[in-house]
Structure 1
Amino acid sequence: MSRFKRPGKVDSLAGFKTENTEPSIPYGLLKAARKSGQLNLSGRGLTEVPQNVYRLNLDTPEEAKQNVAFGESDRWWEQTDLTKLLLSSNQLTQLSNDIALLTGLSTLDLHDNRLSSLPNDLGKLQELQQLRISHNQLRSLPVEVCALKNLRSLTLQENMLENLPEEIGQLENLTELDLSNNNLKGLPSGLGHLTSLQKLNLSQNKLSCLPDSLGQLTNVKLLDCSKNQLTDIPASLSEMIALEQLYLTHNKLRLLPKLPAPMLKDFYVGNNQIEQLEAEQLACLKAISFLELRDNKIQTLPDQITLLSTLTRLDLTNNDITNLPASLSLLPNLKVLLLEGNPLRGIRRDILTKGTNELLKYLRGRIKEEPEKEDEGNTAMTLPSQARVNMHSITTLKSLVYSEKQASSVPDELFDAAADQGVTTVNFSKNQLTSLPPRLMEFQPSLLDLNLGFNRLTCSSLDICKFLQLTHIDLRNNELSDLPSEMNNLTKLRSIILNYNRFKSFPEVLYQMVSLDTVLLGNNQVGGVDPSRLIKLVNLSTLDLSNNDLLNIPPELGLCTSLRCLSLDGNPFRTPRAAIVAKGTDAVLEYLRGRIPT
């Protein structure tokens, strides 16, 4: 008898058999999906989609094959069609035509995979409203996708698309189309048929021209054509009457495009080759609020710059400007003027470093003022306090101004004169106010713009949080160190200026105010920011943190891709180096993203 025990039954072919490699999905997940209509398989390392996912609403559930009793929550026959399927951040290289079995899908997320093609039967998903295919390896878009008549959002950024089918114009209900970061050299004229489109992103491609048909997109509010090779903009773009934001940075434009778009508020034309600004182009910008012209070759500013009466922010960083026209100070709404990197002459350095307000005041001093008339008729009246009330300004411009008086209070006569006038703008700057004037609350229903800069406020009154219509507030040059949490009630606030105060940290409440597009916090003592919360401010385009106490800049700040102007000068951090900071916002954000641990 052998001294060794004979092993159990051995499969002699075991070494030649291949294991079943079909990925396994927890049955409980599929069971829950039948009830909710949503299935999230993101980040599971899938190389293919399991067959039981495609057949989720076709095959009889396992529990139905067993002789068991069902409670109310387990009635498998009351299942819901799958409407939302998330397959992002996997390793999918292909998608089966069986995707057409999920006829009820309204959302399909395939972003961050390895797809080089899409199945033709994808076009059969007629209920589909959202299709995300970004961060894949697509070289072309199958024409069948253009049959998805109910599609509202199509995101295709970060692929390798070289062209688009002419039939893309059949997506008549599409409101958002993102084609950024591809290899597109041209666009089909059919793109102009997407008349429901509101957002179109064409940035970071290889476009040298845009089709005239883009002018037919009369509902587009945001058009991003930055980082292409454009040398000209078609005149038809002036027909995009709803356009509010236009990005043309990092192209090869030599002239500021002539675009009489009546709603255009934010115009980004930085990093081009523009040498001069012409009055004809400026006259078109009737609603402009933010004009970015940084990193061009502009040498002079024309006196017609005063045509931009609605302008609040002007970025002229890194140009060739040697002199500033005094007429620049006549822009009534200009709050931010960026001039770093220009060879300016005739203006002392200390004036330039004191900020926009002091610079405009200096330029106003260059204008020869006409002697004031003794008799001003009914447009003004002299009060016992010697305050002058400009009734024309109150009744016509809806503006109440009591500035540069060095007063500790505002006379009641001013409030009496402005009663029931629907005042929208109040300027009490450059006084000695230590608190909010109580009668300011009389303008609560109508006030949009409040300037309390250059006073002696030590805390922000809770009453400010009751002005629910406010879109702009200026609190610079006070003694503030915090903001009340109730300020998050100001859901329409777009910009807040807090320069030259005593903030030691980024105000907590600002992280919650998603309407903000401008936060100016320069010349404080801020020691850090939280990029994970800052990234949630999706509208934030301008952030000034210059001259603070930032010892390090978190790399995750590079993920705040909505930022178009980030000021970090004058902080004690070592990285990024000054040479990188000098290159501007885009270079800083790209550098920071490159330092994020993987």
Structure 2
Amino acid sequence: MFRGTSGPTAVRRCRQSSRRRDRGDRDERSGREHRERRSREGQLTVRTGNSDWGSRQLRVPPRALAGLRQLRKLDLSFNGMQKLEVDSLVHNRIRALGAAAFEALPQLRAVMIESNQVRHVAETAVLHNTELRRLELQDNEIERLGATTLRSLRHLTLLNMSHNALGTDNGSLPELDGLFSLQALNLSNNRISSVSGEQLEQLVNLGTLDLSANWVQRLPTLALRGLAQLTLAQNQIRTVAPAALVGCAALRSLDMTDNLLQTMPSTVYQLRYLEELKIAGNRLESIIPRYEARDHL
């Protein structure tokens, strides 16, 4: 004989059914917001898109992704993060910076992608990031930059591309057009063999230039009035032309350690503000003619 359910038991079952429907609705909304975390073959992909959140903004706390050591792709599109100013992706295994990689973050002031495996940088990777002040790509595998890759970065003050493979194809410097605000340039530990004075002259605000540990054989004539520190250690420079540094009147530190120099032109010792001259590890036959020695050295 069938006995119907009534009283407290019926109410309890009704409430349970209602809770299940609520959970189903939440799951459906979650799918519509495109949140995804997936682990596949040891490669974790994190993707979130809040295209229908209206005025909401995603907030990423410090070190929120610190434990994701196998992270290969991070997609934070459609989250309204226009005010993010610093993007640090150091010590990962990133292999390429694609076209318009940071287009959704126009207010970025600093991008730090050092110690990865980046080999390719798309010509438009930072095209839309005109507010960048710092770009740090050191310790990667970059062989070249496109002719216009950096051209839009008129406010960039620091560029670090040390410990890469720049110069592998033709031995020359990367294209530096448009970097009128650049103050510090580090291209050490690459494969650069040829330095163009004309290419560097456009860097009118450059104060620090590091080209150490390359394959440079000749120092061109430099006209960098604000340059204070020049590092050319561990290259293959044999001679320095008399006029090479005359245009660097503000130079305070010159490091040419471990080259193949046999002589130094007298014009180097006449640099008014030069305080530090490092020339150990060369083949110098003479140092300073006595009548040209300067008190400030």
TM-score band, normalised by the shorter chain? 0.7 to 0.9
Partner letter of residue 154 of structure 2? E
Larger Rg: 1
- Whether 2:175 is the aligned partner of 1:159: answer no
Summarize the Cα distance change of 1:301–1:114 in structure 2 as closer, same or farther, 3 Å threshold.
same
Q: Secondary structure of the residue that 1:93 maps to in structure 2?
A: strand
Q: Secondary structure of the residue that 2:73 maps to in structure 1?
A: coil
Counterparts of residues 384-399 of structure 1 (less than 5 Å): none
Task: Write the distance in 2 (CA, Å) between the matches of 1:138 and 1:305.
Answer: 52
Partner letter of residue 156 of structure 2? L
Task: Write the distance in 2 (CA, Å) between the matches of 1:300 and 1:95.
Answer: 58
Counterparts of residues 1-150 of structure 1 (less than 5 Å): 22=38, 47-48=43-44, 50-52=46-48, 55=50, 59=53, 82=59, 90-96=69-75, 98=77, 102-124=81-103, 125-147=105-127, 148-150=129-131
Task: Write the distance in 2 (CA, Å) between the matches of 1:80 and 1:305.
Answer: 69
Summarize the Cα distance change of 1:95–1:288 in structure 2 as closer, same or farther, 3 Å threshold.
same
Task: Write the distance in 1 (CA, Å) between the matches of 2:187 and 2:294.
Answer: 28
Task: Write the distance in 2 (CA, Å) between the matches of 1:101 and 1:142.
Answer: 24
Identical aligned pairs, as a percentage? 27
RMSD: 2.9
Summarize the Cα distance change of 1:81–1:264 in structure 2 as closer, same or farther, 3 Å threshold.
farther
The residue aligned with 1:227 is: 213
Cα distance, 1:305 vs. partner? Answer: 7.1
- Whether 2:163 is the aligned partner of 1:181: answer yes
Counterparts of residues 75-474 of structure 1 (less than 5 Å): 82=59, 90-96=69-75, 98=77, 102-124=81-103, 125-147=105-127, 148-167=129-148, 168-185=150-167, 186-189=172-175, 191-211=176-196, 212-235=198-221, 237=222, 239-256=223-240, 258-260=244-246, 261-283=248-270, 285-304=271-290, 306-311=292-297
Deviations 1:465-504 (A, max 9, x none): xxxxxxxxxxxxxxxxxxxxxxxxxxxxxxxxxxxxxxxx
Summarize the Cα distance change of 1:198–1:22 in structure 2 as closer, same or farther, 3 Å threshold.
same
Kindly indicate whether structure 1 or structure 2 has the higher relative contact order, using CA contacts under 8 Å at least 6 residues apart: 2
The structure with the largest strand share of the pair is: 2
Deviations 1:252-285 (A, max 9, x none): 01124531211111111000000112323332x2
Summarize the Cα distance change of 1:170–1:305 in structure 2 as closer, same or farther, 3 Å threshold.
farther
Partner letter of residue 272 of structure 1? N
Partner letter of residue 117 of structure 1? A
Deviations 1:389-435 (A, max 9, x none): xxxxxxxxxxxxxxxxxxxxxxxxxxxxxxxxxxxxxxxxxxxxxxx
Q: Is the 8 A contact 2:162 2:186 kept in 1?
A: yes
Q: Secondary structure of the residue that 1:213 maps to in structure 2?
A: helix
Cα distance, 1:306 vs. partner? Answer: 4.2
Task: Write the distance in 2 (CA, Å) between the matches of 1:302 and 1:221.
Answer: 26
Q: Is the 8 A contact 2:37 2:47 kept in 1?
A: no
Cα distance, 1:240 vs. partner? Answer: 1.1
Deviations 1:207-263 (A, max 9, x none): 00123211111111110000000011221x2x2111111100000011245312111
The structure with the largest helix share of the pair is: 1
Summarize the Cα distance change of 1:275–1:49 in structure 2 as closer, same or farther, 3 Å threshold.
same
Cα distance, 1:181 vs. partner? Answer: 0.3
Q: Is the 8 A contact 1:85 1:109 kept in 2?
A: no
Q: Structure 1 length as normaliser, TM-score?
A: 0.38
Task: Write the distance in 2 (CA, Å) between the matches of 1:298 and 1:84.
Answer: 56
Task: Write the distance in 2 (CA, Å) between the matches of 1:171 and 1:199.
Answer: 14
Summarize the Cα distance change of 1:173–1:84 in structure 2 as closer, same or farther, 3 Å threshold.
farther
Q: Secondary structure of the residue that 1:281 maps to in structure 2?
A: helix
Task: Write the distance in 2 (CA, Å) between the matches of 1:99 and 1:180.
Answer: 33
Cα distance, 1:58 vs. partner? Answer: 6.3
